[in-house]
Structure 1
Amino acid sequence: MIEVTLLGTGSPIPDARRAGPSTLVRAGGQTFLVDCGRGVLQRTAALGVGANSLSALLLTHLHSDHIADLGDVLITRWVSNFAPDLAPLPIIGPPGTAEVVENMLKAFGPDIGYRIAHHADLTAPPPVEVEEVTDGVVWGRDGVSIRVAPTDHRPVAPTIGFRIEHGGASVVLAGDTVPCRSLDDLTAGAGALVHTAIRKDLIDPLPMQRIKDICDYHSTVEQAAETAARAGVGILILTHYVPAIQPGQEEEWRALAASVFDRQIEIGDDLHRVEVHPGVCAKPGG
């Protein structure tokens, strides 16, 4: 079984009810944080999951809303772990990730220096191990495998999606993308697809061109559902709603997805949880 929790379902616009884009995936005793948007550690704290228990950080791309709390994750993991030899945090992302992580640690350089000077058991900066990838298998430990494939979020490039598999269960995390062949291939036959989605019908009437521009490189609800249908997945889990779903609008979004995808559709607030079992069996919760 793989457990998927939507930590943050919001957008770049601050929302009192929704943290920034981030998803927690637990499989085979391992815990993966996929993207780290605004407020992510508050959400993991609500689940009783600390930064020091993360197996790896997976980044779909380097847009600010998906990495806004990268520094918090790095520093909090470092200061809240009391092991004498803290292992590096694996960070897997597209090319450019290493530079972003390096610069984030530089930005926190004064803080890191203060803590090393004050605490005898902190003798080095937060340890990280960055792997930049665009395609292929990137993880294989204790029965959990992770595969990566390119997605299409141009002009943001490169961007990637992740497929996590364990014990016959599988989950794909698409990140921000328009429909593309490589995502179809990555998703084929998966138990669940976690996909960001926008409502073009609500965005098009707005007078600000900058807001309308987001339709160019994100999938609509219907397009996300079409990707799920083509791939034959068992569950479509929508997240990163733009504009934010207002209370009472959930069934509108669900109906749009259901117009092209006739299987299980999950739409929820932050901390919504879905269990993905081998085959098409799933148990929603949250």
Structure 2
Amino acid sequence: MRVGFVGLGNVGGKLSGSLLRNGIDLWVHDLDADLVTAFVARGAVAGGNPAAMMRDCDVVITCLPSPAASDAVMSEMLEEVVAGKVWMEMSTTDEAEVRRLGEAVRARGGAAVDCPVSGGCHRADSGNISIFAGCDRPTFERVLPLLTTMGRRVLHTGDLGSASILKVVTNYLATANLVSCAEALVVSKAAGMDLSVAYEAIRISSGTSFVHETESQVILNGSRDISFTMDLVAKDIGLFQLVADRSGVPLDISPKLIDIFADGIERFGPRELSPNIIRRLEEATGLDIRAPGFPAEMVDDEPEEPGAEVIILREG
């Protein structure tokens, strides 16, 4: 199977790296020619452009920063879609948009999957990230070997678009948790607590979470580096709010998160690292929320393991 990968950024570069590391015949493309050159040096093939990749490959994966970027790439690829081709959208995107593009692919005889990832760039790098996949069951089974190469836990979420809904749901929860962790750490410091002790108290208690055990560490280190920026958070929580609006659900916390990150972007810039949302409170209080002994970046210390489908247990 020839696999094309479009988008070699923070997430895409790691996912495509897992494919290459595990012996997949890989064609790559990115607007940054240096990224392509680096992959070619590791054994990949330069894809040239998205249309050529769809023509030459059996499967083309996109991992791009916005729905508009995915639309631009698909506009190049669509004429090359024929029966048997598969498009896998690994971007965090709008479920209505992925369905629209997927229907265009299916109208030409191809298959479409939305398969975003969750678990942090450090787990994308190790091949241990989780992946949601929305598509019909025969297509899911066809691409499952690729998904289990890039990720450890793969969940078939239902029809095309369902994975994108669940992805923005989980990113919304992670964002809410990031803001609450930032508030908890600042309040702990202001109340005279040792931040190393506060971190452990949260970690071993009902207050812990994936976000606390990863992002709180790089906050306390001071690097705030999780390879994710405020503009991407704003995009993701905006997509979650869009799902809520379409579904007629009035929300309280989501609009506040949107306001908080809009303010963070205005103060610090769209490409500021997302955990630096804590700087709003550091500046307001004059406190320095750092502590010794925490890592500058997260590294997945679990060995890479073959992935598998997550089976949902249902009674009856």
Normalised TM-score (structure 1): 0.32
Report 1 or 2 for greater relative contact order, CA contacts < 8 Å, sequence distance ≥ 6: 1
More strand by share: 1
Q: Which structure: greater helix fraction?
A: 2
Query: TM-score if structure 2 supplies the norm length?
Result: 0.30
